[in-house]
Structure 1
Amino acid sequence: MNDTGLRRILPDQSSGSGHTFGTPRHPSVTDPILSKRVCFYKSGDPQFNGLRLVINNRTFKTFDALLDNLSKKVPLPFGVRNITTPRGVHAIYTLDELEDGKSYICSDSRKVKPINLALARKKLPPWYHARPVSSRRRTVQRARLFPGWSIHKQEPVVVLTPKRLLVFRNGDPTVKHTVEIHKRTTPTFKSILEYISELIQFNVVKLHTPEGRRVSVSTSVN
Structure 2
Amino acid sequence: MGTRGPYALVDTTPAKTILVYRNGDQFYVGRKFVFSRRHVANFEVLLEQLTAQVDVPFGVRRLYTPTRGRQVHELDALQAGGKYVAAGRERFKKLDYIHIIPRKPPKLRKLKEIKPVVHCDINVPSRWQTYHRVSRYINVFTNGKLFIPPVKIIIPKFSLSDWNSVLAIIGEKVFPLGGVRKLFTMNGHLLNNSEDLQDNQFYVAAGLETFKYYPYWRAPNVPSEVQQKYADIEKHPPRKKKVNVKGKEPQPYAGDKAPPKTQESVYYAKEGPKKTMAEPLGQSGAEGDVYKAQTPTKDTQGALEVKEDQDVQVEVPVDQVPAEIIKEADELHSQCDSENSKEKEDERLYEDIERKRLSRTSTRIKKWLRFLVAFRGAWF
Task: Give the TM-score normalised by structure 2.
Answer: 0.25
Structure number, greater radius of gyration: 2
More strand by share: 1
Task: Give the TM-score normalised by structure 1.
Answer: 0.41
